[in-house]
Amino acid sequence: MDTTYPHLPVLYQEILTAIQPRPAGRYVDCTLGAGGHALGILEASSPDGQLLGFDLDPAAIEIATERLKGFGTRAILVRASYTGLTDQLKQLNWEAVQGVILDLGVSSMQFDRPERGFSFREDAPLDMRFDPDRGRSAADLLNSLNEVELADILWRYGEERFSRRIARAILANRPVMTTRQLAELVKREYHGKAGHIHPATRTFQALRIAVNSELASLEAVLPQAVAALAGAGRLAVISFHSLEDRIVKQYFQHESQDCICPPEQPVCTCGHRASLKVITRHPLTPSGSELDTNERARSAKLRVAEKL
Ligand SMILES: C[S@@+](CC[C@H](N)C(=O)[O-])C[C@H]1O[C@@H](n2cnc3c(N)ncnc32)[C@H](O)[C@@H]1O
């Protein structure tokens, strides 16, 4: 595997085992990043497997294009949201695919570039958009939403226990424009009560999720991915926090049941039919050796399901 690229794919071997790429197969990588997982899928499906890859970030598309150029037309990379999966497949005339993967969240490339505003390790403008040309930046949200809306974002997407207090402090200190300014402000509201993680971690997570509508996008793509899969095709999702993992777990549970009527109802009226078989009853997590070499893998969870 090429290691000259900055991003180590999380659960790399586990993704390949889950998807089982084979020649002539068609695969979708919804979250290309630096193309690490995509490269593995293309290699394993040689000589003629094909991959459609999505990313919103032009920098990711540029790096993945360079990295995957040796595969020629077998790799089709688009700068677009994976929420357009059904439409993209229609444009390609791909009726069904053998595997779909999602590796959610921010890449280390994005995190390590201060100007993207995802990290408070260095001072930079609060941007946080996966697509830097579209939508509202984190600074934009922080300086325009009201106190209740801000507190709601911090509570719902960061499970931040001091959400109200932090929202109030943001309003009192507007304009909040940089990563350091926000991190320091949050830290002050904690009054030294933070545990082992930096007190601003949850606030940054919450804002990133809100800026990129991450949970809504995940909810929108899961049914499209299942609809796109051929029988016995696999869907593999790597999540990095409990909000994402809960959505995937509940969706897999729901779609693996024949009847979803309330248990007290004697006769089924829902007509629901299972479309998936859950392959991972418990999510897979990185091995000790992966954790030793890749800090980002720390909270990764992989869930896999198979189309019936
Ligand atoms: C964790 S990285 C993926 C890393 C990749 N698996 C690899 O091997 O390098 C997640 C990527 O998904 C992209 N992304 C997030 N939300 C997206 C969306 N709705 N549509 C397309 N790409 C998205 C981000 O820009 C980021 O580059």
pLDDT exceeding 70 applies to what percent of the chain? Answer: 97
Question: What is the C-alpha separation between 242 and 123, in angstroms, rounded?
Answer: 28
pLDDT of residue 288: 94
> Which atom of ligand 1 lies closest to the CA of 37?
8
CA of 56 from ligand 1 middle (Å) equals: 7
Question: What is the C-alpha separation between 200 and 198, in angstroms, rounded?
Answer: 5
Tell me if 34 CB under 6 Å of ligand 1.
Answer: yes
> Which atom of ligand 1 lies closest to the CA of 213?
19
Specify whether the CB–CB gap between 182 and 154 falls below 8 A.
no
pLDDT at position 121 over 60: yes
Question: What is the C-alpha separation between 136 and 128, in angstroms, rounded?
Answer: 9
CA of 171 from ligand 1 middle (Å) equals: 32
Average pLDDT, integer, range 237-263: 96
Min mean pLDDT across 69-78, 143-152, 262-271 is at 262-271
Q: Which of 247, 275, 267, 270 is nearest to 259 (CA)?
A: 270
What the block records as the tokens of 57 is 């970030």
pLDDT at position 170 over 80: yes
pLDDT of residue 263: 86
pTM: 0.96
- pLDDT tens sequence across 43-64: 999 999 999 999 999 999 999 9
CA of 148 from ligand 1 middle (Å) equals: 30
pLDDT of residue 196: 77
Q: What residues form DSSP beta bridges with 130?
A: none
- pLDDT tens sequence across 200-225: 999 999 999 999 999 999 999 999 99
Specify whether the CB–CB gap between 61 and 111 falls below 8 A.
no
> Which atom of ligand 1 lies closest to the CA of 29?
6
Average pLDDT, the chain: 95
pLDDT at position 5 over 90: no
Tell me if 244 CB under 6 Å of ligand 1.
Answer: no
Question: What is the C-alpha separation between 200 and 192, in angstroms, rounded?
Answer: 12
Specify whether the CB–CB gap between 258 and 273 falls below 8 A.
yes
pLDDT of residue 297: 92
Tell me if 88 CB under 6 Å of ligand 1.
Answer: no
Tell me if 103 CB under 6 Å of ligand 1.
Answer: yes
pLDDT at position 2 over 70: no
Tell me if 36 CB under 6 Å of ligand 1.
Answer: yes
Tell me if 81 CB under 6 Å of ligand 1.
Answer: yes
CA of 61 from ligand 1 middle (Å) equals: 10
* SS3 (DSSP) at 107: coil
- pLDDT tens sequence across 175-208: 999 999 999 999 999 887 767 789 999 999 999 9
Question: What is the C-alpha separation between 172 and 180, in angstroms, rounded?
Answer: 16
pLDDT class for 3, splitting at 50, 70, 90? very low
pLDDT class for 295, splitting at 50, 70, 90? confident
